[in-house]
Structure 1
Amino acid sequence: MDETEKAVLDLVETYNGRSIFTFKRYPLKHNTDLNEDFRMDPLDAYDLLEEFTEKFSINLDEINFTRYFPEDNGKAEKALTIQLLIDSARAGHWTDEEKSKTENTLPSNSDRKIMKKGKNKTIYILAVIICFLILPEIMVRTLTPEQLVRLSDFTSLGGIFSHLLSLMFFLGITSILLGIVAICLAKKIYRYFVRLKK
C-alpha cells in the first residue's frame, strides 16, 4: 500500500458511518460502492468528493455527481468505488472518462445549504410530532374513560401515580431524543478534531 492509497482510505474512513441514522462502520474494500454498499448520504458524498479533489488537486467539475448519486435516488449509472478514488488520486485527474448518459449537475454551495436545512428541519419536525402529537394520542386511545378521569384527579393516590407515570413516559422519550442529538453532535465533533490532526 503506497502513501496515496493510504491517504484515500484514511479520508474515506472519516466518512464511515457519518450518516445521522448510521451507527455501524463498514469494512473498507477497493470495490466498495459508496452509494450502494456504504449507503452514504448524497450530501456527505459531495463533501467527501470536495475534500478529495482539494486534497489531490483534482478539478471538481470533472466529476459528474449525478452519475453516482441520481437525483431521484434510483439506480446509479456507475459505482463510485474506493478504487476509482485511488486511481484518480494517483493520476491527478478524474479517471472515469467514459461518456455519461446524464448531465452533470453538481449542487452549488447554496443548494447544499438549503438541502441540509431541509434535512435538519425534517428531523426537528418529526421529533415535535412524536413528543406532542402522537404520544398523547396513543395514551388517550389506550386508556379507558375511568382511567382518563383518574389521570385528571390529583386528589387520589391513583391519580398522582398516573400523573407520575405519564411524566416518566414523556421524560423517557425526551431523554431518548436528546440522546440521539447528543450522539450526532459527538460524532460531528469527533470528526472535526480528527480532520484537524491531519
Structure 2
Amino acid sequence: MVGFDPSRAAEELARFAADLEQKAQRYEELQGQMAMTSATASSAGGRVSVTVDSTGVPTAIGLGPSTRSMDPDALSAEILACMRKAQVTLRSEVAEVMHRVVGEDTVGESILDILAERFPDVEAELAGEYVPPQPTYVPPPASYAPASQSTWEPPATGTLSRKPDRDQIVTPDEPDEDDEYFSKKSWLE
C-alpha cells in the first residue's frame, strides 16, 4: 500500500476504541436511569391514579374513596385510561433521559420509536385519529371449499349410542424418550 502509516492507523484505532468505550458507558448510565424512570397519571378529580415503571407496566394503582360507589366497568375504564396516560408520559420522560444521557443517536431514536408504537398518544386515540392495528382476515384458498354443498342432518334422537371403550385410557406400554425427558422437568421451566 502506498502511503500507509501504521502509527496513524494505530492512533485512529485507539480513538475508535475510546469512542466505543465512552458510548458503552453512556448506554450503561442510560440503562440505570431508565430503570429508575416511572410515570404517574391521575383521572379528573384525582379519584384514580396509576404509576407505571420504565417498561410501562403498572406498579401502583390508587383509588380514592369516591370509587367505592362507581360502576365496576366505569372504574375499570378509568384505570385503563390513567394507565395509558401514564405510559404516554413515560414515553416523554424516557425521551428526555435519552437525549440528556446519549444525545442524538440512532439506537436511542429506535428505542423511542418502539415506545411510540407500544404507547400511542391517548389524546389522538380519544380524538379518533388513532386506529389500533386490526387483525387481517385471509380467506381460505378456493381449494379448501367443499366439493359439494350437501346438507348434513343429525341422526334422529335416540339413535346415538355410546361407544363401549369410551372410558378406557390407552397408554403406551413403555415410555419413549420424550416421556423420560419431560418426566424430569417441571411445567414451570
Report the structure number with the largest CA radius of gyration: 2
Q: Is the TM-score greater than 0.5?
A: no
TM-score, normalization by structure 2: 0.28
